[in-house]
Amino acid sequence: MEVTDLMGTAVRLSTPILIAALGEIIVERAGMFNFGIEGIMLIAAFASFTTAFISNNIWLGLLAGVSSGILLGLIFAITAIKLKIHQGVCGITIWFLGLYLSSLLYDLFLFH
């Protein structure tokens, strides 16, 4: 394998980590930590893929991914700040909800 290939793969593979870390940084600068980031990514991946697949439009897919991320982030914020549940527990719940809900939705709608 060429060195440039390797570097290119490194950049490609680091993209999701970079963007996720960017999101987490915003939370951590505010003194919180969001464990649910994995679940949010999974739900957003499902939402953006399904939307882009159905509408044949990548930008609508992007919009769906971002808005589903905002929705789950909102759930995390409401449970952790308004409902005053420990943020670690909220994050874990969002994580598992995202993990299993995205698997469930995939099985229901995409897997035939």
Partner 1 sequence: MALPNFKDRRKISELFRRGSISLFIVLLAITVGSLFIIVSGKNPLEFLVLSFKGAFGNLHALSNFIAKMIPLTFTGLAVAIAFRNHLFNIGMEGQLYLGALAATWMGITFGNLPAALLLPLIIICAFLAGALGGLIPGILKTKFNVHEAVSTLFLNYIFILFVGFLLYGPMKDPLAQVFPLSSYISHSARLPVLISGTNIHFGLIIAIGCVFIMNFILSNTTFGYKSKAIGSNPISSNYAGINVSKNIILILAISGGIAGLGGMSEICGFHHRLMEGFSPGYGFLGITVGILGRFHPLGVIFGAFLVSFLLAGTKAATYALEISAYFAYALAALVILFYFIFEYLRK
Binding site for partner 1 (CB under 8 A): 33, 35, 75, 79, 82-86, 88-90, 92-93, 96-97, 99-101, 103-104, 106-108
Distance in Å, CB of 97 to partner 1, minimum: 4
Distance in Å, CB of 6 to partner 1, minimum: 25
Q: Is 35 in a helix, a strand, or coil?
A: coil
Distance in Å, CB of 105 to partner 1, minimum: 8
Q: Which residues contact 13 (CB under 8 A, 6 or more apart)?
A: none
Nearest residue (CB) to partner 1, 58 versus 74: 74
Distances (CA, A) of 8 to 12, 25, 39, 83, 109: 6, 25, 27, 44, 34
Nearest residue (CB) to partner 1, 62 versus 97: 97
* Rg, Å, the chain Cα set: 16
